[in-house]
Amino acid sequence: MIRSELIGKLVETHSHLPRPVVEAALNAILNEIMVGLAQDQRVEVRGFGNFSSKVREARMGRNPRTGEPVQVAHKRILRFRASKLLLEQLNTPATPG
């Protein structure tokens, strides 16, 4: 599902809200998640999961084409851990029909 499909589903579900309001709400939610992660905070969405960032230290890597060593700089990576509820829903067999 892409962003526009998600907005379309939300508009269908909440038909009393105009599309621009739904888009603004989704943008606000996603923006707050990004701001929290940029400030090195853990973001928890109950029933969905936790987002956090982690620093991956600098290291020596290898160029896969030539095999020569390459210095890889440190960087922050995103981590997501799904909630128990989400994992249970993912692992529940789908009913045919």
Cα–Cα distance, 61 to 57 (Å, whole number) = 12
Q: Which residue has 């621009």 as its token pair?
A: 20
- In angstroms, how far is the first alpha carbon of the chain from the final one? 21
pLDDT tens track for 31-74? 999 999 999 999 999 999 999 999 999 999 999 999 999 999 99
Encoding tokens for residue 25?
Answer: 């709400």
pLDDT tens track for 80-90? 999 999 999 99
Compute the residue count for the chain. Answer: 97
Cα–Cα distance, 95 to 97 (Å, whole number) = 6
Question: Which helix H or strand E contains 81, and what residues bound it?
Answer: strand 75-82
